[in-house]
Amino acid sequence: MIGCTVVTVRYAAHARVASRSFLEHHPAGEFVVLVADDPDGAFGAGEPFDTVRPADIGIDDAELHRRALMYNGQGLTCSMKAPLLANLLDRGHGEVAYIDADTCLYGDLSHLGELAREHGLVITPHSTVPHEDIELDRLIVRTGAFNSGLLAVGEGGRAFLRWWDVRTARRCIPEPGTGVFNEQAWLDLVPGLFDHHVLRDPGVNVSGFAMHYRDVVWSDGRPALEDGPLRHFHFLCGFDPHRPELLTTVPPIAEHWPPLSERPGLARLAADYAARLLSERYDDARRASAPYDALPDGVEPTRLMRELYRTAVIDAEAGGTPEPPNAFETGRADPFMDWLNEPVADDAHGLSRYLSALWSARRDLMAAFPEVPGRDTAAYLGWAATKREDEAEAIPAALLPPAPPEALPPPIPERLRTLTGERDRLADEFDVLRRSRSWRITAPLRAGARLARGARRNGTGGPTA
C-alpha cells in the first residue's frame, strides 16, 4: 500500500501527521509527499515520508512558475494531484491512494487498493446518509458531490488521470457559481465517463459534512463511530489546532455542521488531532517562507492579477501566441507589472489591462462609473489613483494610474462610498435573515408562491390534479 499527498511548506506539520498515521496502520507501506513550493530543496531531510519535487513528476521549472503565478498555494497543490498519482503508477506501484494532508488515519485503508485494482478508480462522497439541511446539500452541489481529499487509482485509472490533469493544469480555480471548484468538482463527471467505484464506507473520508447524525465513540483510547469503525477523518475547512473547540473556522460551513458542544466524542477527536499537529511543529511550519506568495519585488499577487495571467496563458496556448511575462521565471516583477499596465485601447485615458479588469469584476465600480471605457474613464482613473485602503481589493502601487492634475468631482467618490455601504448593509441584513429560524420555516411558503407566480405568467392557473 502506498499513500501520497501534495503540500506547500506551510503544511509540513499536516504532512507529518498524515504520514505517521498512514504508516501506523500500513507498517509495510510507503508514504510520498510532493512539496510544491520548495525550489531550493531545503525541505525533506529527516521527515517520516519520502519527499519528491515537481521536477520529479514531470513538471519542469517553466511549468511550475506558470502554476505558481496563476494559482495561490491551494490551487498550486491541487493542480498536482493527477500528475503525482500518474508518476507513482509509472514507478510500478500497482495501486496508489491520494490522501489530503489535513487528515488523520485511525484504521486500515487497504481495501481502497483492492477496489482500485478491480475498478481502476475509487472516489468518496462527502456523506453517505441524506441530510435534512437542504442548504447544506446546495453547498455540496456547488463545490462537488465527491470529496477529492481521498481517492485511489490503479492501472485502469490512467485515462481518468490524463483527463483530470488536463483540466486541473489550467482550471484549478474556486468558482463554485460556475460549477468549477479547484480540482474537486471535476469529479462529478466521473460516473458518466470512467469505470469507477463510489466507496460508501461511512468510516472513510469522514468530515463535519457526515457528522449530522452521529458522534465519535471512544474505547480503550481509540476512536470509532456510532455506526461502525472510523478509518479516516478529514479535518477540512480551516481547522485551527489553537482553537480545537471549532471543527471549522469557516462561518458558512460552521452553520451547517454540528457544534462540538453537541458531539463530545468528536470534540475529543479534534483535540487529539490538534495536539498531534502542534507536536509536529505546526507553528514553525505556518511561519515558513512561501516563495510563491509574493513576486520577486515583494508584492503579493492579488487574485485578479493571478486570474489575468491564467486566462492569458490559456489564450496563448490556444492561439500559439507568446505568453505574458512570468515574474517567477524571469526573477523580476517589472516585466509582468508592465504587462498588467499595458493599455487595453488606444485612447487618451490609457485604461490599463489591470484597471479594466478590476472595473469589470466589481459591480460597485460599474455602478459608480457606468461608462468605462467612455466618459467616466477619467473619473474612474482618478478614483483608482487615490488607492482607497477600505476598498474590497487594494490596488498594488505599481498598478496605480498617475494622480490626476485636477481634483476629482466630489459626487463620484461619494456616490461610490454610498453604493458600497448600501451593498454591504443589504448583504448583512440578508445574511441575518437567511440564518433565521423563520426563514427556514417559511421556505415552503416562498416556494409555493414562486410556483403560483410562474403559473400565472404561463396562463395555466396553477397545478391540476
Q: Taking the chain (465 residues) in consecutive chunks of 10 residues, what is each chunk's mean pLDDT?
A: 96 98 97 95 90 97 98 97 98 97 98 97 96 90 94 98 98 84 95 98 97 97 97 97 97 94 98 98 95 93 96 96 96 96 76 93 92 89 74 77 60 59 69 63 64 56 39
pLDDT at 44: 84
Strand locations in 166-220, DSSP E? 174-175, 180-181, 197-198, 216-219
Decide: 168 and 186 in contact? Cβ < 8 Å: yes
pTM: 0.85
pLDDT at 407: 46
pLDDT at 462: 42
- Which part of the chain has CATH 3.90.550.10? 2-286
Chain-centroid distance of CA 179 in Å reads: 13
Of 125, 106, 113, 126, the residue nearest 231 (C-alpha): 106
What burial class does residue 81 get, using C-beta atoms within 10 Å of its C-beta: 0-12 exposed, 13-18 middle, 19+ buried? buried
Distance CA 450, CA 457 (A): 11
Strand locations in 155-270, DSSP E? 174-175, 180-181, 197-198, 216-219, 222-225, 232-234
Supply the DSSP symbol for 54.
G
pLDDT at 292: 96
Distance CA 404, CA 413 (A): 14
CA distances to 231, 340, 381 from 181, rounded to whole Å, are 26, 26, 33
What burial class does residue 420 get, using C-beta atoms within 10 Å of its C-beta: 0-12 exposed, 13-18 middle, 19+ buried? buried
Of 299, 19, 248, the residue nearest 139 (C-alpha): 248
Task: Enter the CATH code of domain 2-286.
Answer: 3.90.550.10
Q: Identify the residue whose cell numbers are 498555494.
A: 73
Distance CA 249, CA 202 (A): 24
Distance CA 47, CA 33 (A): 10
Q: What CA dihedral angle connects 14, 17, 22 and 28, to 10 degrees?
A: 120
Q: Helix, strand or coil for residue 410?
A: coil
CA distances to 91, 184, 271, 329, 346 from 96, rounded to whole Å, are 11, 18, 30, 32, 54
Query: Cis peptide leading into 373, omega within 30 of 0?
Result: yes
Decide: 121 and 157 in contact? Cβ < 8 Å: yes
The three-point CA angle 71-12-139 to 5° equals 50
Q: Which grid coordinates belong to 309?
A: 495571467
Distance CA 393, CA 253 (A): 24
Distance CA 206, CA 210 (A): 6
Determine the angle formed by the axes of helices 377-386 and 411-435, rounding to 10 degrees: 70
| 370-373: Cβ within 8 A, 24+ apart | 373/344, 373/345, 373/347, 373/349
